[in-house]
Structure 1
Amino acid sequence: MKLSRFARLACLLVAGMLLAACQHEAATPWQLTDISGHMPDLAFQLTDDQGKTVTATDYQGKVALLYFGYTHCPDVCPLTLAHLHVVMQRLGKVADGAQILFVSVDPARDTPAALHAYATAFDPHVIGLTGSPADIEALTKRYRAAFSREPGKEGGSYDVSHSSGIYIFDAHGKARLLATPTDSQDKLVHDLHLLLSPGGAT
């Protein structure tokens, strides 16, 4: 049976749409926001939660998840780290190739000892990092993050408002993805599994 000219055009249109969809899916495997080429490489010099001076090169070879927060954070920080803990558990053994870098935006209170106790309470993949106020400010500006100290409360305590993005770098220190605390664990597991696999979804 011969197809009409209209039917043939319709078939060609559907085939073209399917091909374009397949090509788009192949070109963009990520479920999180792709920031490749839009953010600088991972670079810093800070103090880790053991009191040791470290740089980004100390974590070369690992997929790094950079997150800015502080130990006195009442809500988003503990929720985000708990979220990432479940993601690490779901990744299983391949999670050994990942490192969560928790950078304090409250260096006045977050000593290395305080950061160590806080980080290890969530997951063994978390390392707390701190530094001088100038170092922290420079690093947040490098990745277009922001933070500000809120007015003090009674007893001298205070809160720090801060960005909640999770910056994900590949094993070569290249910025690849941006996640937020509202992104599902499924998305994080999917994309981290790709980055942690041989080839790193290059």
Structure 2
Amino acid sequence: MNSPRLPVRRTGLLIGLIATLIAAALLAGCHSAPKLKFRLTDVTGHLPDLQFQLTDDNGKTVTAKDYLGKVTMLYFGYTHCPDVCPLTLTRVHVVMQRLGKQADDARFLFVTVDPARDTVPVLHQYVNAFDAHAVGLTGTRAQIRALAKRYRAAFDRGKEAKNGGYEVNHSSAIYVFDRQGRARVLATPATSNDDLVHDLHLLLNTGD
């Protein structure tokens, strides 16, 4: 008994659908992040790609596209921070020194959570005092809050002191993105410099 034949039109549609699915699968494979043996918390596929429009510490409007091709670290802090921010930036400087020449392909983006006090000149002087690969970023409160929300970071202004000063409570994680702007690993204050250097080397050496 002969099997019934599908109409030519339906057969063509099925072939076209299969071809489309194969092409989509291949395309997804091309754009998926390579699997690397990280030591830090792997967030590949769990956080969105780097995306923002802010003002850098030279007064220039920049977006995430300006940092494509670099391994980028994103951090939320402020220049009046009494402890964790200067410690983090000092640590980043040590890490950059250990990367040697490869540090030129890495950037540390310091996003202020205190735009009222952290003007462009203040940011410029602050980040450059620590490392030449650090970039200060600022913007409107709405822009900064939107970016923090995008990466599940949090910050809030503390009570004002009698002298008018105040502190800002903020998350202290470092978000690390690969050359394509994809979120890859998360570092915390408890992370060792050795592990951070290891994972940065992996991302810098993939050439992806």
TM score, norm. by length of structure 2: 0.82
- 2:116 pairs with 1:116: no
Question: Matched residues in 2 for 1:126 and 1:154: separation?
Answer: 33
Q: Distance in 1 between matches of 2:189 and 2:92?
A: 9
- 3-state secondary structure, aligned to 2:144: helix
Letter in 2 for 1:154: K
> Is 1:174 equivalent to 2:179 in the alignment?
no
Q: Distance in 2 between the 1:82 and 1:28 partners?
A: 27
The unaligned stretches of length 5 or more in structure 2 are 1-34
- In 1: Cα distance, 2:53 partner to 2:167 partner: 25
Residue 104 of structure 1 and its aligned partner are, at CA, apart by: 0.1
Alignment partner, residue 153 of structure 2: 145
Give a deviation string over 1:89-129, Cα, whole Å, max 9, x none: 00100111100000000000000100000000000000000
- Residues 27-46 of structure 1 aligned to structure 2 (within 5 Å): 29-46=37-54
Q: Distance in 2 between matches of 1:83 and 1:182?
A: 12
Residues 72 and 178 in structure 2, CA contact (< 8 A), matched pair in contact too: yes
Percent identity (aligned): 66
Aligned to 2:68: 60
1:199 shift after superposition: 3.7
1:153-198 CA-partner distances (Å, limit 9, x unpaired): 1210000000000000000000001001220000011000010013
Establish whether residue 154 from structure 1 lines up as the match of residue 162 from structure 2.
yes
* Residue equivalent to 2:56: 48
Q: Aligned partners of 1:102, 1:169: CA distance in 2, in Å?
A: 14
Point out 4+ residue stretches in structure 1 off by more than 4 angstroms: none
Structure with larger Rg: 2
Pairwise CA RMSD: 0.9
Per-residue Cα deviation, 1:31-76 (whole angstroms, up to 9, x for no partner) = 0000000000000000000111110001111000000000000000
Q: How many residues align?
A: 174
Is the partner of 2:80 in helix, strand or coil? coil
Aligned residue for 1:14?
Answer: none
Note the 1:64-143 alignment, pairs <5 A: 64-143=72-151
TM-score (ref. length: structure 1): 0.84
